[in-house]
């Protein structure tokens, strides 16, 4: 059946459900930006994330969840459409799936077609150009931070001499000057430091308060709601209110120095030079600078955790805690000096593994998750679309490539996938990683990697040339071929 005709049928069936009183669970879908596993629910002991802990205590923690591409745009295109990156055709931050794969239905579109009131705040789709607009949303908003107090007097002095920073030559000159004011104004170079703002003056503070307002005012009416909350932090610049920096004195931060010999036995194509933008040299430790960035990154995490707690409080206050499925995850991980790498765009564990927490209330057709449950099974972000459609009795698009997690949510002893798959671009080619419960194998255009994640969880020793692991290498190559056949099946 053509996609447009299927959409009409789904919408009509949904109308019948609503008209005759069928109830469906609500959904609160929270996706953070560039959040790695430096949260307590992922076993990281050096940071405080009580909102994550609370959700984990009420639902299920997936300890081995992986993104499909460690960059914002491709990752979001993948999990929002339930397709692997080769199938979406989105392998960078600039492409729009409507251009490269016309007619592909997003998660939000399908839920809206199915009678849900859909709303979003912040960064859900990668940017406004790729956002599908009214076909997916009843309401969608994005906010900006207030001006930092340290900037205001400098801007006012500049405008007295050059005119408004909002237009003309002054605008260009101000952009150049702004990046030189302080570490906080560097943008993606990257900027970091205490903002001098209150929580509600940050875009993430505004994001959650908008959702709280929607819930308090019941703007969804009688329809079930699907609200997506795009949390911008800890994406650069690493800015947060001052009090969150106070939680993490830089001298007390714990981390292991990167091995200066690692890159002698790993393919150089596996690295990216983003470390240069952070002010580091490959193979050269800079403990003081690393501590500054880590303090800021952790401050951002505690800041967003505090905002997320407001969402949970609002669900409880409005009576929706027990009829709302809550998903909390990230688009991909992030490197903070491991292997001397900074940022994303690699296939290391810290860059590809993400937090994933799901709580399913009794009102779901699939039943309730067991409080405080967890799973070590392999899962992928591409699995979220089919999971939520099954939980909410929504008809999924036929071409979804993920696998529903509902059996695992019902019973934490159910096995996960045999392997998880992540890719990343190197020029016009891809590096391709496949992970099993024990191994991570990566095939690059011009190199390979094999790591024993059981005995070497931080991936320090590349075993690709080990004679003892020759059979393992052969098995992992076969796994990669199998998953590639699936991932490329719907490519256009």
Token pair recorded at residue 425: 């671009």
Q: What is the pLDDT of residue 191?
A: 97
Residue given tokens 């499925």 in the structure block: 325
From the list 117, 22, 20, 32, the residue with the least C-alpha distance to 302 is: 32
The structural domains of the chain, with segments of one domain joined by +, span: 23-145+195-422
Average pLDDT for 227-243: 98
Q: What are 79's two structure tokens? A: 């999990």
Count other Cβ atoms within 10 Å, centred on residue 244.
23
Please report, for the chain, how many H helices and E strands are present, in that order.
16, 16
CATH of the domain spanning 23-145+195-422? 3.40.720.10
∠ CA 356-391-108, nearest 5°, is: 75
Phi/psi of residue 66, each to 5°? -130, 145
- The stretch 340-351 carries a mean pLDDT of 98
Instruction: Tell me what the mean pLDDT of segment 467-482 comes to.
Output: 97
Give yes or no for residue 490 having a pLDDT over 70: no
pLDDT for 365 equals 62
pLDDT tens, position by position, 35-87: 999 999 999 999 989 999 999 999 999 999 999 999 999 999 999 999 999 99
Quote the crossing angle between the two packed helices 203-217 and 287-317, to the nearest 10°.
10
370: pLDDT strictly greater than 50? yes
In terms of Cα–Cα distance, which of 346, 344, 333, 341 is closest to 301? 333
- Percent of the chain at pLDDT > 70 equals 94
pLDDT in the model for residue 395: 97
Give the pLDDT of residue 364: 63
Helix 50-58 vs helix 287-317: angle between axes, to the nearest 10 degrees? 50
Residues 169-180: pLDDT tens digits?
999 999 999 999
In this predicted structure, which of 25-39, 363-377, 383-397 has the lowest mean pLDDT? 363-377
pLDDT higher than threshold 60 for residue 9: no
CA distances from residue 208 to 147, 213, 236, 371, 453 in whole angstroms, order as listed? 19, 9, 19, 25, 37
Rounded Cα distance between 427 and 297, Å, is: 29
Q: Which residues pair with 197 in a beta bridge?
A: none
Task: Show the tokens assigned to 41.
Answer: 């629910």
The answer to whether the peptide bond before residue 403 is cis (omega within 30 degrees of 0) is no
State residue 363's pLDDT score. 66
List 452's β-bridge partners, or say none: 439
Q: Sort strands 192-194 and 238-240 into parallel, antiparallel or unpaired.
A: parallel
362 and 342 Cβ atoms separated by less than 8 Å: no
Rg value, the chain, Cα: 23
The DSSP output letter for 468 is G
- pLDDT of res. 13: 45
> pLDDT band for position 20 (50/70/90)?
very low
Q: How confident is the model at residue 362 (pLDDT cuts 50, 70, 90)?
A: confident
pLDDT at 203: 98
Q: What is the pLDDT of residue 21?
A: 39
- φ, ψ at 221 (rounded to 5°): 65, -135
Three-state secondary structure string covering 178-227: HCCCCHHHCCCCCCEEECCCCHHHCHHHHHHHHHHHHHHHCCCCCCCEEE
Comparing CA positions, the residue from 42, 95, 62, 124 lying closest to residue 420 is: 62
> Residues of 248-281 as b/e, b for ≥16 C-beta within 10 angstroms?
bebeebeeeebbeebbeebbeebbbebbeebebe
Cα-based angle 56, 354, 356 (whole degrees, multiple of 5): 30
SS3 at position 93? coil
Cβ proximity of 411 and 470 under 8 Å = no
- Enter the DSSP assignment of 106: P
Whole-angstrom Cα distance, residue 68 to residue 401? 12
- d(CA 232, CA 178) in angstroms, rounded, equals 21
Token digits of residue 71: 């960059």
Q: What is the pLDDT of residues 114-130, one digit of tens each?
A: 999 999 999 999 999 99
Angle formed by the axes of helices 384-391 and 72-81, nearest 10°: 30
Task: Report the Cα 79 to chain-centroid distance in Å.
Answer: 10
Beta-strand relationship, 342-343 and 335-336: antiparallel
The predicted pLDDT at position 4 comes to 53
The reported pLDDT for the residue numbered 368 is 81
- What percent of the chain has pLDDT above 90? 92
pLDDT bin (cut points 50, 70, 90) of residue 488 is confident
What is the enclosing helix (H) or strand (E) of 63? strand 60-66
- The predicted structure's pLDDT at residue 318: 97
Nearest to 182 by CA among 205, 220, 154: 154
pLDDT for residue 366 is more than 70: no
End-to-end CA distance of the chain: 18
Q: DSSP characters for 400-465?
A: --S---HHHHH-TTS--BS-EEEEEEETTEEEEEEE-SSEEEEEETTEEEEEETTT-TT-----TT
Least Cα distance to 431 among 182, 83, 62, 71 occurs for 71
């Amino acid at each position: 059946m053509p996609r447009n005709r299927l959409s009409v049928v789904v919408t009509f069936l949904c109308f019948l459900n609503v008209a005759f009183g069928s109830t469906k669970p609500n959904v609160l879908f929270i996706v953070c930006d560039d959040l790695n596993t430096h949260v307590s629910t992922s076993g990281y002991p050096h940071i405080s994330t009580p909102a994550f802990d609370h959700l984990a205590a009420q639902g299920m923690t997936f300890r081995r969840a992986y993104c499909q591409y460690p960059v914002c745009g491709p990752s979001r295109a993948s999990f929002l459409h339930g397709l692997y990156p080769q199938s979406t055709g989105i392998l960078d931050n600039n492409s729009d799936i409507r251009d490269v794969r016309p007619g592909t239905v997003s998660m939000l579109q399908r839920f809206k077609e199915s009678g849900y009131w859909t709303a979003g705040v912040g960064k859900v789709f990668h940017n406004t150009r790729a956002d599908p607009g009214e076909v997916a949303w009843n309401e969608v908003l994005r906010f900006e931070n207030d001006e930092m107090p340290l900037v205001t007097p400098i801007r006012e002095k500049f405008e007295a001499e050059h005119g408004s920073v909002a237009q003309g030559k002054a605008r260009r000159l101000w952009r150049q000057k702004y990046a030189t004011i302080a570490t906080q104004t560097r943008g993606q170079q990257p900027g970091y430091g205490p903002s001098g703002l209150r929580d509600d003056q940050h875009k993430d503070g505004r994001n959650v308060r908008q959702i709280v307002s929607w819930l308090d005012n019941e703007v969804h009416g009688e329809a079930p709601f699907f609200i997506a909350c795009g949390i911008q932090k800890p994406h650069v610049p690493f800015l947060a209110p001052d009090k969150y920096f106070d939680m993490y004195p830089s001298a007390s931060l714990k981390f292991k120095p990167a091995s200066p010999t690692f890159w002698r036995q790993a393919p150089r194509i596996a690295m990216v030079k983003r470390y240069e933008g952070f002010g580091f040299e490959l193979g050269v430790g800079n403990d003081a600078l690393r501590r500054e960035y880590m303090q800021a990154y952790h401050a951002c995490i505690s800041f967003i955790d505090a905002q997320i707690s407001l969402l949970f409080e609002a669900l409880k206050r409005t009576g929706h805690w027990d009829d709302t499925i809550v998903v909390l995850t990230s688009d991909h991980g992030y490197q903070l000096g491991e292997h001397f790498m900074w940022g994303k765009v690699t296939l290391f564990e810290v860059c590809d593994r993400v937090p994933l927490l799901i709580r399913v209330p009794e009102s779901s057709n699939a039943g309730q998750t067991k409080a405080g449950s967890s799973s070590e099974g392999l899962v992928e972000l591409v699995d979220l679309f089919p999971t939520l459609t099954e939980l909410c009795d929504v008809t999924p698009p036929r071409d979804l490539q993920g696998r529903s997690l509902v059996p695992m949510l019902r019973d934490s002893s159910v096995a996960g996938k045999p392997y998880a798959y992540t890719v990343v671009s190197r020029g016009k080619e891809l590096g391709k990683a496949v992970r099993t419960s024990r191994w991570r194998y990566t095939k690059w255009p011009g190199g390979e990697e094999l790591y024993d994640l059981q005995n070497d969880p931080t991936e320090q020793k590349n075993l690709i040339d080990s004679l003892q692991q020759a059979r393992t290498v052969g098995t992992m190559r076969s796994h990669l071929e199998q998953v590639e056949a699936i991932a490329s099946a719907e490519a256009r």
